[in-house]
Structure 1
Amino acid sequence: MKHVFIAGATGYLGRHLCAEFHANGWHVTALVRSKSKVTDLPADRIVEAEATWRETLHGTMQGIDLVVSALGITRQADGLSYWDVDYQANLNLLDEAVASGVAHFAYAHVLHADRMSHVPLVAAKSAFVRKLQTAPISHTVIAPTGYFSDMSDFFDMARQGRVWLFGSGQLRINPIHGADLAHATRQAIEAGETWLDVGGPDMFTHEDLAKLAFDSLGKSPRITHLPDWTRRLALRVIPHVTPRHISGPAQFFLSAIGLPMTAKPHGTRHLDAFFESKAQQAD
């Protein structure tokens, strides 16, 4: 039996990674910050450690064949920055993997990171990827277009009565469900791929996403288009007028939404079902 060590195991993608590897015969070790907060995690072993503290990882990867990291933060909280977590904590994991003789390291990155180097979140992730690519260990980098959970922004706006779009709303994206992304990740690793740009099975324009969100709620679409210069202006202003736990996610969102986020389709789960489930929960 092969052994996989999953970092970021309690996050959206991490839980799906645990389930995917466990269901396919791997022995799963899940890294968590606090065992007391872990419930229903499909793992054979739980390791409690703080990846930002290198010394807490010592000895945790003995006998491990593969490390998969979905470790990162969206909002900079607890005094931690993107460079503390998305870069340094992952580098600590990589160093421990190399020292422990782990054969392979996989990392969940961002599609089109090279076009978002000005975004602090992406800059930290990209810096780690450069370290990974030069480390003495085989690797796989997974770059998804966007998660279904990210599309909740469109759903939430529709529920409030109006969706605001930048520009024409014709930029395209094929977001992917976490379970489908976990499946594609395992397959890419087992196939020995070093990089995978990955999206979901269905392609949408931003206008399509807005209409789909309204349809799931049984509402008539109310969509307002803002000129794209307002998005670009917001990108310049937000870092100077908001705290970093707000400006960081906003910079990433405003940058990603200005790019076509499409990649080779994978998976079987569809966004309309995801929105319909959210609508039922909202009733």
Structure 2
Amino acid sequence: MKTVFIAGATGYLGRHLCAEYGRRGWHVTALIRDAPRAGDLAADTLVEAEATRAETLTGLMEGADLVVSALGITRQADGLSYQDVDFQANLNLLREAERAGVERFAYVHVLNADAMRQVPLVAAKAEFVDALRASELPSTVIAPSGYFSDMGDFLAMARSGRVWLFAPGTHRINPIHGADMAAATAEATEARTDWLDVGGPETFTHCDLARLAAASLGRHVSITMLPDWMRRAVLTLLPRMTPRRLHGPAHFFLAAMSRDMVGTPFGTRRLGAYFETLST
């Protein structure tokens, strides 16, 4: 039986990754920060360590065939930055994987990262990918367009009766469910794919997302278009007016809203059904 070592295992995607690899017959070793957070995590072995501290990882990957990292932060906490976690902690994982003789290292990245390197969250991830691609260790990079869970903002706005979008509202995205993303990751690593840009089976404009959210709530919702110069102005002002833990995720969201985020279609789960589960 092959062993997969999963970092970021207690996060949204990490839990799906543990379940998917287990379903495929892998022995799943999950890296966690503290046992109480693991809950009902579908893992065969739990190992506690701080990936930001390289010395705590020593020996943990012995016998592992594959490392999959979904490690990253969306809101800074504990005084840690994107550079500390999305770059350095993943680099610590990579160096230990190299030392342990792991066969392949897979990393969950961001679609269109090269076009968003000015965003701190993306810059840290892209810097790690540069290091990963330079390593002699075979790698797989999976770059998702966005998750169903990220689309919750559209549903929250729809509940208020008004959805605010930046003009023209025609940029497209095909978000993917975490379970489908985990399956895409497993297939890519088993096929030894170098790089996969991936999204869900349906593509929406931002206006489509607003209307879908409204339909799932069964109510009329007004859509208000804001001029794009306001988005650009907010990008400039956010770092000066809000703490880093708030403006970091907002910076990424506003940057992603300005372009198409469409990956190779994968999976079967539909966003409308997901919205309906949140609407009941």
TM-score of the two chains, using structure 2 as the length reference: 0.99
8 Å CA contact 2:10–2:37 kept in 1: the answer is no
Q: Distance in 1 between matches of 2:161 and 2:78?
A: 34
1:6-21 to structure 2, matched below 5 A, reads: 6-21=6-21
Task: Quote the Cα distance in structure 2 between the aligned partners of 1:128 and 1:91.
Answer: 6
Q: Which residue of 2 aligns with 1:32?
A: 32
Which residue in the other structure is 1:190 paired with?
A: 190
What is aligned with 1:80?
A: 80
Does residue 200 of the first structure (1) align with residue 200 of the second (2)?
yes
How far does residue 136 in structure 1 lie from its aligned partner after superposition?
A: 1.7
Matched, 1:96 2:89: no
What is the one-letter code of the residue matched to 1:162? R
Residue aligning to 1:49: 49
% identical aligned pairs: 64
Which structure 1 residue ranges, 5 or more long, are not aligned? Answer: none
Aligned to 2:106: 106
2:218 & 2:40 partners in 1: Cα distance? 34
1:249 matched to 2:249: yes
Aligned residue pairs, count: 280
Deviations 1:90-126 (A, max 9, x none): 0000000000010100000000001101000000000
Question: What is the alpha-carbon distance in structure 1 between the residues aligned to residue 257 and residue 47 of structure 2?
Answer: 36
2:214 matched to which residue of 1?
A: 214
Deviation at 1:77, TM superposition (A): 1.0
Q: Tell me, in whole angstroms, the C-alpha distance in 1 between the residues paired with 2:112 and 2:253.
A: 13
Per the TM alignment, residue 236 of structure 1 is displaced from its structure 2 partner at its CA by 1.0
AA in 2 matched with 1:152: G
SS in 2 for 1:214: helix
Structure 1 distance, partners of 2:38, 2:224, is 42
Kindly provide the CA deviation profile for residues 48-96 of structure 1, in whole angstroms up to 9, marking residues without a partner as x: 1110011110110010000000000001111000000000000000000
Counterpart amino acid of 1:41?
L
CA distance in 2, matches of 1:118, 1:60: 34
Runs of 4+ in 1 over 4 A off after TM superposition: none
The alignment partner of 1:149 has SS state of helix
Q: Which runs of 5+ in 2 are unaligned?
A: none
Q: How much has 1:221 moved relative to structure 2?
A: 2.1
Residue identity in the other structure for 2:234: A
Look up the match of 2:137: 137
TM-score by length of 1: 0.98
Q: Provide the C-alpha distance between the structure 2 equivalents of 1:263 and 1:184, rounded to a whole number of angstroms.
A: 12
Give distance in 2, aligned partners of 1:133 and 1:255.
25
Give the distance between the partners of 1:159 and 1:46, measured in 2 at CA.
40
Counterpart CA distance in 1 for 2:212 and 2:136 is: 46
Secondary structure (helix, strand or coil) at the match of 1:79 reads coil
How far apart, in 2, do the equivalents of 1:63 and 1:273 lie?
A: 40
Q: CA deviation at 1:131?
A: 0.4
| Structure 1 CA distance for aligned equivalents of residues 172 and 228 of structure 2 | 15
Corresponding residue of 2:260:
260
Distance (whole Å) between structure 2 residues aligned to residue 188 and residue 25 of structure 1: 16
Residue 269 in structure 1 maps to residue 269 in structure 2: yes
Query: Take 1:239 and 1:88, find their aligned partners in 2: how far apart are those partners?
Result: 23
How far apart are the structure 1 equivalents of 2:168 and 2:259? Answer: 13
| 1:204-245 deviation digits (Å, cap 9, x = unpaired) | 000000011011111112110001110011111111111100
